[in-house]
Structure 1
Amino acid sequence: MSTKAKILDVMKQAPDTVFSGEKLAQLLDISRTSIWKAIRELEKEGYRFEHLKTGYLYKQSDVLATTDMTCLSLPKEQIYLKKRTDSTMNDAKNGLLAHVKTPALFVSEAQDGGHGRFNRPFFSPEGQIYMSLILEPNQTFEELPQYTLLAAVALSLAIDELTGLSTEIKWVNDIYLNGKKICGILSEATSDIETGQISSVTIGIGINFSIDPALFPEPLQKKATSLFKGQATSVTRNQLIQLVWQNFFDLIAGLPDQSYMKIYRQKSLVLNREVSFVKQQVTYTGIARDITNQGELIVDTPQQTFSLSSGEISLTHIDNYF
Structure 2
Amino acid sequence: MTTKENVLTLLMTQAPEFISGEEMAQKLEVSRTAIWKAIKELKKEGYLINSSTNKGYQYLPSDILSAEGIRLYLSEKTPDLSIKILDSSTSTMRDAKLAAVNGEPENTLVVADMQEAPKGRFGRPFFAKKGGGIYMSILLRPNQRFEEMAQYTLIMAVAIAEALDKAAGIVSEIKWVNDIYINGRKVCGILSEAMSDVESGQITNIVIGMGINFAIRQDEFPEDIRDKATSLYSDGQPTITKNELIALIWNRFYKILNEKDTAYLDIYRKKSFVLGKEVTFIQKQVEYQGIAKQINNLGELIVQLPNGDEKALSSGEISLKKIQG
Aligned residues between the structures: 317
Aligned to 1:16: 16
| Aligned-CA RMSD value | 2.5
- 1:21 deviates by 6.5
2:280 matched residue in structure 1? 276
State the match for 2:144 in structure 1.
139
Counterparts of residues 118-133 of structure 1 (less than 5 Å): 118-127=122-131, 128-133=133-138
Alignment of 1:170-319 (within 5 A): 170-229=175-234, 231-255=236-260, 257-303=261-307, 304-319=309-324
Residue identity matched to 1:260: Y
From the superposition, tell whether residues 305 and 2 of structure 1 become closer, same or farther in structure 2 (CA, over 3 Å).
closer
Q: What is the distance in 2 between the residues matched to 1:238 and 1:290?
A: 35
DSSP-derived class of the 2:236 partner? coil
Aligned with 1:18: secondary structure? coil
Amino acid of the residue matched to residue 42 of structure 1? L
Is the CA contact 1:89–1:204 (under 8 Å) kept in the aligned structure 2? Answer: yes
Quick one: structure 1 residues 118 and 34, their matched pair in 2 at CA, closer, same or farther if it must change by over 3 Å? same
**Per the alignment, do residues 143 and 285 of structure 1 end up closer, same or farther by CA in structure 2, a change over 3 Å counting?**
closer
State the distance in 1 between where 2:184 and 2:127 align. Answer: 18
CA distance in 1, matches of 2:2, 2:201: 47
Structure 1, gaps ≥5 residues long: none
Q: Is the 8 A contact 2:12 2:69 kept in 1?
A: no
Instruction: Give the structure-2-normalised TM-score.
Output: 0.87
Tell me what 2:117 maps to: 113
- The reply to whether residue 59 of structure 1 matches residue 60 of structure 2 is yes
> Which residues of 2 match residues 152-167 of structure 1 at below 5 A?
152-167=157-172
> Which secondary structure state, in structure 1, belongs to the residue aligned with residue 224 of structure 2?
helix
SS in structure 1 at match of 2:193: strand
Following the alignment from structure 1 to structure 2, what is the Cα–Cα distance between the partners of residues 24 and 142? 51
1:99-110 → structure 2 map (5 Å cutoff): 99-110=103-114
Q: Deviations over 1:22-60 (max 9, x none)?
A: 7767877655x8767654543442322456796543222
Instruction: Verify the 8 A CA contact 1:108 1:131 in the aligned structure 2.
Output: yes
**Deviation sequence 1:77-117 (CA, Å, 0-9, x none):** x2222111110111111111110111211111111122111
* CA distance in 2: counterparts of 1:150 and 1:129, whole angstroms: 18
Assess, with a 3 A threshold, how the Cα gap between structure 1 residues 15 and 292 changes in structure 2: closer, same or farther: same
1:94-145 deviation line (CA, Å, top 9, x unaligned): 1111101112111111111221111111222211211111111222223446
Q: Using the alignment, how far apart are the partners of 2:299 and 2:205 within structure 1?
A: 19
Question: Residues 2 and 198 of structure 1: is their aligned pair in 2 closer, same or farther, counting only changes over 3 Å?
Answer: closer
The answer as to whether partners of 2:79 and 2:107 remain within 8 angstroms in 1 is: yes
Contact preservation (8 Å) 1:191, 1:200: yes
2:27 & 2:100 partners in 1: Cα distance?
41
Judged with a 3 Å threshold, the aligned counterparts in structure 2 of structure 1 residues 117 and 205 are, in CA distance, closer, same or farther, namely same
Q: Indicate how the Cα distance of structure 1 residues 220 and 53 shifts in structure 2: closer, same or farther if over 3 A, else same.
A: farther
Q: Tell me, which stretches of 5 or more residues in structure 2 are unaligned?
A: none
Which deviates the most, 191-200 or 164-173?
191-200
User: 3-state DSSP class of the match of 1:69?
Assistant: helix
Instruction: Specify the alignment match of 1:92 in structure 2.
Output: 96
Cα distance in 1 for residues equivalent to 2:184 and 2:206: 30
Q: Relative to structure 2, which stretch is displaced further, 196-205 or 209-218? A: 209-218
Deviations 1:247-296 (A, max 9, x none): 111111111x2111001001111112232222344433332221111111
User: Secondary structure at 1:146's aligned position in 2?
Assistant: helix
Equivalent-residue separation in structure 2 for 1:86 and 1:35 (angstroms): 34
SS at match of 1:185: strand
Q: How far apart are the structure 1 equivalents of 2:34 and 2:255? A: 42
CA shift, 1:174, in A, is 0.5
Given that 2:197 and 2:203 are in contact with CA atoms closer than 8 Å, whether structure 1 keeps it comes out as: yes
Inter-partner Cα distance in structure 1 for 2:34 and 2:24: 10
Is residue 46–residue 62 contact of structure 1 (8 Å, CA) maintained in 2?
A: no
Deviation at 1:154, TM superposition (A): 0.8
Asked if structure 2 preserves the Cα contact closer than 8 Å seen for 1:297 and 1:307, the reply is yes
Q: Does structure 2 retain, via aligned residues, the 8 Å contact 1:158–1:243?
A: yes
